[in-house]
Amino acid sequence: MSHTVDEIVFPSHFAWGASTAAYQIEGAWNADGKGSSIWDTFCHAKGKIFEDQNGDVACDSYHLWEEDLKCIQQLGLSHYRLSFSWSRLLPDGTTQHVNPKGVAYYNKVIDSLLANNITPMVTLYHNDLPQALQDIGGWKSLEIADVFDSYAKFCFETFGDRVKLWLTLNEPYVCAKLGHEDGIFAPGLKEPGVSVYLTGHNMLRAHAKAWHSYHTHFRQAQKGLVSLTLNSDWAEPLDPNSPEDVAATERYMAFILGWFANPIFLTGDYPEIMRSRIDAFSKETGYSEGPRLPKFSPDDPAVLGTADFFALNYFTSRKVKAPASSPRKLSFKNDQGAEEVLDPSWPICGVSWLAVVPDGLRKLLKYIKDTYKSPTVYITENGFSQMGPVEMEDMKRCVYYRDTLHEISKAMREDGVDVRGYFVWSLMDNFEWVDGFGVRFGLFHVDFSRPELTRTMYRSGREYAAIISNHRSRHKPTQTGR
Ligand code: BGC
């Protein structure tokens, strides 16, 4: 049964947000001195994206920022999460060449958010590596961590007087796995079982360096917080009475969430189960070019403790069973040794991977609290997609948001999880990576068939606005004294 808006009560300081990412909305891919990113290159090569679409124009937010701002205001958001396009700021990825027009664009965005009482949360990297850096090895090269750190310091210096919530990287799992193992995301590398761990490792090193830079050089003056977003499904054993399925589920979670969360929040190192599985499989298959899962070097700054809050992207859940057999072939999946099953009782919304499981989020939040020592949590992405004929009266999405918010409130009140904010993915329909414009996640519809790229609120946008406005009236300061 779905819940009514009025049942949902959140603390007064709760952050109400929506998220976007530069490549998915900005367009203007080569305007005003912007350098190319790996997503420009990837989309321009044919056969990678639904109908060979690309983000050259997308929602054209680079030119239509004022329209986006109106959407944000109509929703009444307290927070807006955006990402910077690295190659718009630093066309070749290095601080040797700064693009003043890129700086001016993000200054305009940040200043107008603040002028309207909306807190920006900025992601420094959301999938779009400058192509110039890919050309010298990208995330596979050891040096990338220092180059990222310089970019991060440049951003802290330039925007940190006003931006107080930073995310270094969005979903390192997705960048490493989809971009370097499966090859379905830029840079499109298919190097199973090897590059995935190397890129994940360099992303962790890059994040840790940037966090330490902030902590040492900026925190005292700027008083902000820095983290990174981690994506995770919630997983449950297909047969809870099968020890094999239970073990496979633990591996599933370790290889998605633990891979990045254990080093940062728990131990400073990868989950033991990853290390032992990967090393054993290397031995079995005769792989002898050093450990596929790299080791943290004492020469690098410690990764443990490098997050000031837990930023979680949650979309869906899975049932998991132990695979019947394990082929003797190097791959992330074989290392993980867990087979995903979709529970037939879970409805699918839009894209095939997105099973609708709001209560999976509550369980995941509890798991994070129990596993990672009760961190404060921001849910930095959560959403529901539609495909095919557009439904402006998107009732199913409305129900999804209500149910999800209800689960979050239960996680807070009944399980004691310290959730500080919730960001819908996404503010508006945008370029959904390999699915192009065929999959819509927005609270606003964008008419991609018209040059104006008109934004129109879906019913779910109206409902989200009503939830936020109810929250505000509930917490309106009461008149004291006379
Ligand atoms: C990503 C977004 C993406 C969304 C829906 C998240 O994993 O951060 O960029 O659009 O999922 O697929």
Residue 233 above 50 pLDDT? yes
Q: What is the residue whose two structure tokens read 């679409």?
A: 53
Query: Residue 430 CA: which ligand 1 atom is closest?
Result: 10
Report yes or no: 29 and 36 within 8 Å, Cβ to Cβ.
Answer: yes
Residue 482 — pLDDT band, cuts 50, 70, 90?
very low
Nearest CA to ligand 1 atom 12: 432
Query: Residue 174 CA: which ligand 1 atom is closest?
Result: 7
Which one of 3.40.50.2300, 3.40.50.10490, 3.40.50.12780, 3.20.20.80 gives the CATH number of domain 5-474? Answer: 3.20.20.80
Residue 6 — pLDDT band, cuts 50, 70, 90?
low
Mean pLDDT for all residues in the chain: 96
Tell me the pLDDT tens digit for each residue of 456-472: 999 999 999 999 999 99
Rg (CA), the chain: 22
How many percent of the chain have pLDDT more than 90? 94
CA dist 367 and 236 (Å) reads: 12
How many percent of the chain have pLDDT more than 70? 98
**Sign of the CA dihedral with 424 first, then 428, 431, and 435 last:** positive
Query: Residue 425 CA: which ligand 1 atom is closest?
Result: 4
CA dist 367 and 374 (Å) reads: 9
Strands of 114-201, DSSP E: 119-125, 165-170
The per-residue pLDDT for 477 is 76
Residues contacting ligand 1 via CB (< 6 Å): 21, 24, 170-171, 174, 231, 313, 381, 425, 432, 441
Tell me the domain boundaries of the chain: 5-474
| Token pair in block for residue 101 | 């027009």
The per-residue pLDDT for 7 is 62
Ligand 1 geometric centre to CA of 280 (Å): 33
Ligand 1 geometric centre to CA of 59 (Å): 16
The per-residue pLDDT for 230 is 99
Q: Which of 349, 381, 427 to mutate to test the pocket of ligand 1 (most atoms within 8 A of CB)?
A: 381
Ligand 1 geometric centre to CA of 249 (Å): 23
Catalytic residue positions, numbered: 381
Nearest CA to ligand 1 atom 3: 432
Across the chain, which distance is largest between two alpha carbons, in Å?
81
